Amino acid sequence: MVEIGLSSTIEPQQLLDLMRFRHSSRSGYVENKPLSDEQIETILQAARVAPSAGNAQPWEFIVIRDRDTRHRIADLFKHQLRDKLELERTIRKSSRIGASIGWRFAPVLILVVGDPRTSESFPLRTLEDKAESHFISSLANATLQMMLMAQCMGLGCQYISDVASPYFSLMLKHLLDIPPQLRVYHLVPFGYVSVAAEPSSRRPLEAMVHYERYDRAKERTAEDIQRFLQEESIQSKNYQWGGSKTPTSQDDP
């Protein structure tokens, strides 16, 4: 039993189960079932207490509930996919990229933005060689904590990282009046979902853990990586329709 704070306790297995059953929900959001202010605040509190490098807390969160704005953002997403798909089709001869816009119907979007000026809290050497990775890792921590909280509350959510690309982030800054010095990181839709998230696979623990020193018997060859990419990574999946091959009525074509 792990003691958290003075009174609250949580079983390790409970926390592990929560993490295990969290999966990206890419379809089935129920638009007409809004989240309460309290639910949103609880999700944001989870982000607020995340660890950050140098306790820089680079994050700010934009909560978007307005239907027109949400759908405008989904339209922007769809628009910016053209380049992305063209690159995949032309160079890789593939269209297997995450293009699901099921989240169009999520009642709440939270945009995570970061202020790189907070990296000044790092020691000089860290600032020189790790400012970028520390900034991103810190934003990632806050994002994941929100997602775990959503799982705890029985809500679906997913990552939308395309928002950080130049076109999309500039358009979002314009649409949402975000100051230019901030950086757009991830967009996370939250909501009740009518379909279970598609479970994703994980490599077995024994394949990734080494005791005392690196176990060369577990070193992966280039072929092992290729097999992994083909069989287990998202390259092996077509989640155009939210993980399944069949579009649901709420998915956007």
Ligand X SMILES: Cc1cc2nc3c(=O)[nH]c(=O)nc-3n(C[C@H](O)[C@H](O)[C@H](O)COP(=O)(O)O)c2cc1C
Residues 6+ apart with CB under 8 A from 236: 229, 230
Contact 35, 189 (CB under 8 A): no
Residue 91, both tokens: 């160079």
Contact 144, 188 (CB under 8 A): no
| DSSP per-residue string spanning 178-197 | --TTSEEEEEEEEE-BSSPP
CA-to-CA dists, residue 213 to 185, 210, 229, angstroms = 35, 6, 26
Please say which residue, 221 or 246, places its beta carbon nearer to ligand X: 246
Question: What is the separation of C-alpha 227 from the centre of its chain, rounded to a whole number of angstroms?
Answer: 25
What is the closest distance, in whole angstroms, from the C-beta atom of residue 212 to ligand X in the complex?
Answer: 29
Q: Is 160 in the site for ligand X (CB under 6 A)?
A: yes
Q: Is 145 in the site for ligand X (CB under 6 A)?
A: no
Contact set for ligand X, span 168-207 (CB under 6 A): 197, 200
What is the closest distance, in whole angstroms, from the C-beta atom of residue 160 to ligand X in the complex?
Answer: 5
Please say which residue, 121 or 152, places its beta carbon nearer to ligand X: 152
What is the closest distance, in whole angstroms, from the C-beta atom of residue 62 to ligand X in the complex?
Answer: 17
Site string for ligand X, 68-107 (x = CB under 6 A): ------------------------------x---------
Q: Is 65 in the site for ligand X (CB under 6 A)?
A: no
Contact 248, 103 (CB under 8 A): no
Q: Is 244 in the site for ligand X (CB under 6 A)?
A: no
What is the closest distance, in whole angstroms, from the C-beta atom of residue 23 to ligand X in the complex?
Answer: 3
Please say which residue, 37 or 83, places its beta carbon nearer to ligand X: 83
Task: State the pairing for strand pair 108-114/59-64.
Answer: antiparallel
Q: Which of 35, 139, 155, 162 binds ligand X (CB under 6 A)?
A: 162
* Helix, strand, coil tally for the chain in percent (to 5): 50, 15, 35
Alpha carbons 230 and 237: distance in angstroms, whole number:
9
Q: Which of 23, 71, 78, 173 binds ligand X (CB under 6 A)?
A: 23
> Which residues of this chain interact with ligand X, rule CB under 6 A?
23-24, 26, 98, 158-162, 197, 200, 234
